[in-house]
Amino acid sequence: MSAVLKSNPSMMRALTRKRLEERLAGVRSRVEADVGCGLLHLVRRAERGLFDGNAELVADLCDEMDEALVSRAEELSAAASLAEQSRAANARGEEQLEAGNGAATRDGWHWLLRKREISITRRLAGDQFREVYAKARTDGIKSCLYEARGGGDGPVVTRTAAAMAISDFGVHVYKATGGVAGDQFIHLLEAVCGRGETLRDMAKGSKDIEKRALVLEAHLMTALDMAAVFFRLVTTQPKRAGMGAPDKPLADVPVDSDAK
């Protein structure tokens, strides 16, 4: 059969045309089914090429459309998977944010701000702690909602001042609590406000994750109250045993112009 085709160019062209017609019909049906793919103009070009007998053009256009459709299907599948993960994360008490590189970043602090009635003072304290933490450390939250540069990018003076301020805040917490549960308050602020961890994740391993998360949330509110005093966002605070005045407010840490 192949020898006959080689000896008969007209039959070869007819068979090639038929195969291209069948392939183009299949591609056309996929393009029409995928509304928004933006490939109909290529289908029309291929049809004109087929009418003109330009088999090479038709084959190239079909290859191009095949590749585009496969790529689009993968992107749509990834987007659907991310949307499902976001819905599941929100249901668990987490929030999915899109970072600059398109990756999803869970932010427990923003979820709390969105889902809970948190006072303005506590919001400001948490946000300001996050800003300083991002300057002092390299593991701070990275998301499109928070664009302050991490510790690895800022000037050395700013990073050092921010690190010293966080250390001073730790001293302030120990003075305010008399050393009782001081580590837990600092850890909660660093984890939730600094790194964007969720309270549910921090409660994993407990017999009752929901109950433990609520307890951690209550401790976090206390930590935010102490941060508000340290930031000088409030002028008074209930007296506690061993409580001392803040040595240095985080608000005094230099702020880069790019991160304001």
pLDDT tens digit sequence for 192-237: 999 999 999 999 988 899 999 999 999 999 999 999 999 999 865 4
* b/e map 200-218, b = 16+ CB within 10 Å: bbbbeeeeebeebbeebbe
Question: What tokens were used for 232?
Answer: 């000088």
The neighbouring-strand residues paired with 98 are 104
d(CA 27, CA 73): 14
The neighbouring-strand residues paired with 164 are none
Tell me the per-residue pLDDT of 106-156, one tens digit each, with 9 for 90 and over: 688 988 988 888 899 999 999 999 999 998 887 665 443 344 444 445 566
Tell me the per-residue pLDDT of 64-100, one tens digit each, with 9 for 90 and over: 999 989 888 888 887 777 667 666 656 655 555 544 4
3 state SS of 98:
strand
Helix segments in the chain, DSSP class H: 2-7, 9-33, 40-52, 55-91, 108-115, 120-136, 156-177, 182-188, 199-202, 209-230
pTM: predicted TM-score of the whole model, two decimal places: 0.50
pLDDT of residue 239: 44
Give me the residue spans of the domains in the chain: 2-90, 104-259
